[in-house]
Structure 1
Amino acid sequence: MSLLFLSGGGGGYAVVINTWKRYDLLKRSVAHYSGCAGVDAVHVVWSEPQEPTEELLGSILNCSRRGQGGGAAEVRFVINNEDSLNNRFRPIEGLTADAVFSVDDDLIVPCSTLWFAFGVWQGAPSAMVGFVPRMHWLADPGSNTKEYRYGSWWSVWWTGTYSMVLSKASFFHRQYLDLYTNHMLPSIRNYVNENRNCEDIAMSFLVANATGAPPVWVQGRIFEIGSSGISSLKGHDLQRSKCLKTFSAMYGHMPLVATTLKAVDSRTSWFW
Structure 2
Amino acid sequence: MDQVQNMELSKDQIIQELIALLNQNQQREAANNVFEMATLVDGMGKRLEQVTEELSSVRKQLEKMEQEKADKTLKATVCKAVESLEQQCQKMKQQLFEIKIEVKAKASEIVAEAKAKGKAALHKVSEFLGVKDKLESVRENVRKSIADIEHTINKLDAFGSGMREAGQKIANTFRTFADKETVDYSEKEKKFSKTELVKKSFEAKKKLYQRMEQHLDEALDKVESLAKEPERMKDVEMAEPSVLGAVAEPEFQYGADAFEEQYKELMSQIMKESGKDAVTKRKKR
Instruction: Sort the TM-score into its range (normalised by shorter chain).
Output: under 0.3
Higher relative contact order (CA 8 A, sep 6+): 2
Higher strand share: 1
